[in-house]
C-alpha cells in the first residue's frame, strides 16, 4: 500500500513539474510578446508626437514645393506622399531632394525637402503626408 502511494505521488509530482515548466514558459512568452509590442507602440507614438512638417513655399514658376522637417524625427523622403486637390499625386513628383543632401533618402530635423511637381499647380490645394502619417497642408 505504501509503495503504491509513493509511486503515485512520484508520478503526480513529476507531472506537476512538467506542467509548471510548460506554463512558466508560456507565461514568459506572453509577457515578452506583450512588452515588445507595448514598447514598439510606445516608440511609434513618440515618433508621431515628435514629428512636425510644414509646407514653407510653393514656387509656381518652377513647380517646386518646399517642406521643412520641424520635428525631432528623421523621416524618409521616399515615403512622402502628396495629394493635390484631394487626389493622390505621387506620379506628378518628378524629383524629391533633401536640400544640401542630393541623393539622400534621410530627411533630418531642420532639413528641407524639395518636391518638383509637374502639371498646373495654380490655385491647387496641397496635402503632404510623411511615412508615419503626419500631415501638412497648404
State the DSSP code for 84: E
Q: How far is the CB of 67 from other proteins (least distance, A)?
A: 15
Residues 6+ apart with CB under 8 A from 104: 77, 98
State yes or no: residue 61 binds other proteins (CB under 8 A): no
Q: How far is the CB of 103 from other proteins (least distance, A)?
A: 20
Q: How far is the CB of 58 from other proteins (least distance, A)?
A: 15
Q: Measured between alpha carbons, how far is 43 from 48 in angstroms, rounded to an integer?
A: 9
Work out which of 16, 46, 56, 62 binds other proteins, going by CB under 8 A.
16
State yes or no: residue 8 binds other proteins (CB under 8 A): yes
Q: How far is the CB of 101 from other proteins (least distance, A)?
A: 20
Please tell me the total number of residues recorded for the chain in this structure: 138
Angle at 69 between CA 129 and CA 56, to 5 degrees: 80
Q: Measured between alpha carbons, how far is 117 from 63 in angstroms, rounded to an integer?
A: 5
Sign of CA pseudo-dihedral 80, 84, 86, 90? negative
Binding site for other proteins (CB under 8 A): 1, 3-5, 7-9, 11-12, 14-16, 18-19, 22-23, 25-27, 29-30, 33-34, 36-38, 40-41, 44, 48, 76, 79, 81, 83, 85-88, 125, 127, 129, 131-133, 135, 137
Amino acid at each position: 500500500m505504501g509503495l503504491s502511494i509513493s509511486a503515485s505521488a512520484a508520478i503526480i509530482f513529476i507531472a506537476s513539474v512538467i506542467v509548471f515548466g510548460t506554463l512558466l514558459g508560456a507565461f514568459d512568452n506572453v509577457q515578452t510578446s506583450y512588452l515588445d509590442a507595448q514598447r514598439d507602440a510606445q516608440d511609434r507614438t513618440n515618433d508621431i508626437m515628435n514629428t512636425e512638417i510644414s509646407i514653407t513655399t510653393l514656387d509656381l514658376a518652377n513647380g517646386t514645393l518646399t517642406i521643412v522637417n520641424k520635428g525631432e524625427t528623421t523621416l524618409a523622403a521616399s515615403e512622402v506622399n502628396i495629394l493635390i486637390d484631394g487626389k493622390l499625386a505621387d506620379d506628378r513628383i518628378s524629383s524629391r531632394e533633401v536640400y544640401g543632401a542630393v541623393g539622400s533618402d534621410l530627411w533630418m530635423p531642420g532639413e528641407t525637402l524639395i518636391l518638383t511637381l509637374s502639371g498646373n499647380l495654380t490655385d491647387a490645394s496641397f496635402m503632404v503626408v510623411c511615412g508615419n502619417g503626419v500631415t501638412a497642408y497648404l
